[in-house]
Amino acid sequence: MRIAIQGELGAFSHEAALRMVPRCTVVPCARSAEVFDRVARGSVGGAVIPIENSLAGSVAEHFDLLLSRDVFVQSEFQLRIVHNVIATPGVKFADLRRVFSHPVALDQCREFFRRYPKIEPVAFYDTAGSVKHVVEEGLRDAAGIAARHAASVYGGKILKAGIEDNKQNFTRFFFIRKIRQVRPRANKTSLAFSVKNIPGALFKALSVFALRDISLSKIESRPVRGRPWEYVFYVDILRGEDEAARNALRHLGEVADLVKVLGVYPTAQGHKGQ
Amino acid sequence: MRIAIQGELGAFSHEAALRMVPRCTVVPCARSAEVFDRVARGSVGGAVIPIENSLAGSVAEHFDLLLSRDVFVQSEFQLRIVHNVIATPGVKFADLRRVFSHPVALDQCREFFRRYPKIEPVAFYDTAGSVKHVVEEGLRDAAGIAARHAASVYGGKILKAGIEDNKQNFTRFFFIRKIRQVRPRANKTSLAFSVKNIPGALFKALSVFALRDISLSKIESRPVRGRPWEYVFYVDILRGEDEAARNALRHLGEVADLVKVLGVYPTAQGHKGQ
């Protein structure tokens, strides 16, 4: 299956795509809107998109696109973000004087730069792109910091693995398709709803879950563009398509202006605190 | 007063700082944690930090730092994000072949690049930094895209102003200080609280506001690092230090594990839908 991602080949999204859809062919896209448009018009079988990071928070643009485009979440996945120093083959670690990467990645590897003060961190616009640059230019004193997969994509060599300061660095990904499909053992539902005039309305909206003992694992408000005092709420509930969830969604329809189920899927194993 | 910002001089935070604290001296810092640490230990009088953008969403790291550091929000401000093409003085618009900026800024100016197909967008790690680079190198065929203020800081010239596609592009900034100070007419409170075991607890927590007709203008959940199933909620309520708010906060203390008031301040004028 052809799977669109936002960003360069070798990016963390590429790694997540291979884990979520084994043997897929990854189609890199420059922009997120392009990723969603390709899925909606069927020029790819699906897409794998980051939705939130445990350190950096939600990817707001992707929530907005899930709401506005005709796509459905099929599964979720938690990827541990592991940063690696990747250089041109033949270059030794002792040769390194500069290491390129995206500023966020450099900032997540401060301990590494403290331990090796001869190596200067240099900001680059992309993690996988930094490895591509170093290898294509054949630089002898430089490396990039990126996902392990960037090494195989661009023919680089990993000189040091796992240099990130915080091991609690996870990104949650969604696999989205055009068709509405619910896997067996789906026990989590992502939905969006809008209400006017908080809090009366928000409190009522949340009561539809509380009254049925349905747990939430995420809630987030987003202002509606150009409409002050109107909000969209993104909520994850820990239920699949059972009777309680159906009743709650019907009840929610009575109190909210708009309700959209973004996907129903099995909870990702492992890191649950998302 | 000396005001710390994250990023280079001439960044949008610099512009916001000058609007929020007239005649301040801006102290640029590479990292956000450094900004907060400087405020907490008193080496600057305060700091101006972006907290959310209408297109990109919340700056999760800044919410986490507001919770963990000993600082207090004094005021909020909504800055319209206006992108400008800035070049070395003497360079004409017709000479431009490349325009550098941060990928997010380039992506917000797609219509500009469609209209001028001879100009290539080139990713750079920072908006203000792209202007600094172009002017310091004296490039004759290139410009940067950045805040208006970057032109005066680096001696560049604005060749085209307001090239962003979406005029509904606002960033909300906080002015933070070490001291707890509440301005007259403060009518908004930002707070954080944590509860276990959603939704019973979240629903109860929100009832303390709903029962007193206190409106919320923001709610967001963040998982607590390393503690699955524990969450921190960031909430803005549309009340200052009146009796209803005091009662609600006392009541919240009964049902939440932790409550921290991040700041009490007057609502920013203008764009209210945040």
pTM for this structure? Answer: 0.86
Q: Which of B58, B102, B219 sits opposite A219 (nearest CB)?
A: B219
Give the closest-approach CA distance of A136 to chain B in angstroms. 18
Determine the Cα–Cα distance for residues B151 and B55; give it in Å rounded to an integer: 24
Give the closest-approach CA distance of A23 to chain B in angstroms. 30
Which residue of chain B is at minimal alpha-carbon distance from A57?
A: B60
- Which residue is it, tokens 């607890």? B201
User: Contact at 8 Å (CB) between A21 and A175?
Assistant: yes
List the catalytic residues of A. 171, 173
What is the pLDDT, as a whole number, of residue A103? 77
Which of A220, A230, A232, A239 is the mutation pick for testing B, counting most B CBs within 10 A? Answer: A220
Give the pLDDT confidence of A152-199 residue by residue, as tens digits.
999 999 999 999 998 888 899 999 999 999 998 999 999 999 987 666
* Band (B197; pLDDT cuts 50, 70, 90): low
Nearest to B234 by CA among B251, B255, B220: B220
Determine the Cα–Cα distance for residues A233 and A36; give it in Å rounded to an integer: 20
- What is the DSSP annotation of A172-228? EEEEEESS----TT--EEEEEEEEESTTHHHHHHHHHHHTTTPPEEEEEEEEPTT-T
Residue A274 has pLDDT above 50, yes or no: no
Give the pLDDT confidence of B163-174 residue by residue, as tens digits.
999 888 889 999
Give the pLDDT confidence of A46-99 residue by residue, as tens digits.
999 999 988 778 888 899 999 999 999 999 999 999 999 999 999 999 999 999
B227 against A63, higher pLDDT: A63
Residue B155 Ramachandran class (φ > 0 left, ψ -120 to 50 alpha, else beta): left
Please indicate whether, in this complex, the C-beta atoms of A223 and B274 are within 8 angstroms of each other: yes
User: Contact at 8 Å (CB) between B205 and B253?
Assistant: no
Residue spans of alpha helices (H) in chain A: 12-20, 32-41, 60-68, 103-107, 110-115, 127-136, 148-154, 200-210, 243-255
Tokens found for residue B60: 């999760």
User: Contact at 8 Å (CB) between B13 and B173?
Assistant: yes
ipTM over 0.85: no
* Band (B271; pLDDT cuts 50, 70, 90): very low
Tell me the CA distances in angstroms from B102 to A56, A120, A235, B111, B121, one per residue in order.
18, 21, 31, 16, 10
Which residues of B fall within a CB distance of 8 Å from A213?
A: 200
Which residues of A fall within a CB distance of 8 Å from B214?
A: 199
Residues paired with residue A6 on neighbouring β-strands, in sequence order: A29
Cβ-based contacts under 8 A for chains A and B: 127
Nearest to B139 by CA among B86, B82, B102, B83: B86
Nearest to B5 by CA among B33, B35, B25: B35
Give the closest-approach CA distance of B144 to chain A in angstroms. 15
